[in-house]
Amino acid sequence: MLEVAHIHGGPVLRGVVRAAGAKNAALPILAAALLTEEVVTLRGVPDLSDVRFMAEILRHQGAEVAQPEPGTWVIRAAALTHRTPYDLVRKMRASVCLLGALVGRLRRAEMAIPGGCVIGPRPIDLHLRGLEALGCAVGSEGGLVRVDAADARGTDVDMGGPMGSTVLGTANLVMAATLTPGVTRILTAAREPEVVDLCALLTKMGARIAGQGTGTIVVEGVAALRGCEHTIIPDRIEVGTYLVAGAITGGDVTVQGAEPDHLGAFLDKLREAGVSVETGPGFIRAHGRPTRPVDIVTAPHPGFPTDLQAQFMALQLLVPARSTFTEKVYPARFMHAAELQRMGADIAVEGAVASVHGGKPLSGAPVMASDLRASAALILAALTAKGETWVQRLYHLDRGYERFEERLRALGADVVRRPAADLPKGFAED
């Protein structure tokens, strides 16, 4: 059943919310469980549609996957197939990280080119180039990628691309390298906390990895990996979204279980915008509205995260001045701007730059989410808009936020999930 978010703007958000596990860490970590025949137990896994899709794919590959309690997944991959069909991987791009796990474990893989959010081209050529550098034979035909790693050996692999390092590409190379003979040096490696978390899991499994969190990751191949238990890191994007929710309403929101070090550039921009920010071991607090314009340039970690660009744009609509957003990771990632304009926002987009002229009052309107982070940004803008807003295509939200509207309500928001049939006449979802 199609659902929509129905929001009445005005309430000020106050209170405490606990961070869920990181989606972008959980997905490659679930794939990494295929690297061993033994049991891998994962805790702190968020309850998201993307996670459930990944579990479905793992079962197709032959793994036993169980969820004994909320947030805990148990995987045992005693026997596996190297083929992954399109009807599964089309649901999300992160399924591409199965390549590294299958190559490492089975020395071969066959996968349809994956899908995901429509936020511009996100080719996997860097992933394939990296596997080729390891000595894998890589072929692509009819929408299928085939990898044969029989002759793979450790070597130097540069994972840099025109938009910087690739997170999932780095994850793929790390996973493949753990069981590849020799020493692999991954240059221009992604430094994201999610990559560090993957390396932490793999180290518990017996992998030999050094340099995670830097631009060079060194992996010494081992003969086999073992089972382990691991807890997923908190979701820094979700944390940032809740902090914006507090600030956009002039409220006071604390996120417990957060890691301030994971959000340095974002928190710096919050402070620059005039929001009061406090941090400590395991928490971040944001209170007060933004008062100053900012210029945002997205970049790979430790730069400003592209996954918080849309939410911060919604926040800067409150400031009576010009803020600019330059998208260096996904230059086409401004589809939310047109929907914010429907609410009264003054935003001009030219190429990879969006100019926001804030200070104009927002009015509730029917809007449509184009991707995961856009859906959150529209709900955030609706929190401060006059009247009621209907956010359609809510299935995007469920890919990356666990019980989002319920947790916002606990902070004081007037937001409910309703059947799409409840939309006012003429606003029916397509």
Per the annotation, the verdict on 117 as an active-site residue is yes
The answer to whether 279 touches 269, Cβ cutoff 8 Å, is no
Catalytic residue selected from 117, 136, 199, 228: 117
Give the count of alpha carbons within 13 A of 192, CB side only.
27
Strand order in the sheet with 252-256: 14-18, 252-256, 283-287, 276-280
Tokens linked to 294: 């900012």
Strand pairing category for 276-280 and 283-287: antiparallel
* Whether residue 302 has a cis bond before it, omega within 30° of 0: yes
| Cα–Cα distance, 327 to 329 (Å, whole number) | 6
**Number of other residues whose CB lies within 10 A of the CB of residue 82:** 19
Could you tell me where the beta strands, DSSP code E, fall in 313-400?
Answer: 322-326, 346-350, 353-357, 366-368, 388-392
In angstroms, the Cα distances linking 269 to 99, 178, 194, 298 are: 36, 37, 21, 12
Which burial class, exposed, middle or buried, applies to 204 when counting CB atoms under 10 A from its CB (0-12, 13-18, 19+)? middle
DSSP bridge partners of 148:
108, 137
Tokens linked to 52: 């459930």
Strand order in the sheet with 156-158: 156-158, 183-187, 216-220, 208-210
Tell me 93's DSSP state.
G
Tokens linked to 285: 């607090």
DSSP bridge partners of 158:
187
| Cα–Cα distance, 232 to 200 (Å, whole number) | 10
User: Which of the residues are catalytic?
Assistant: 117
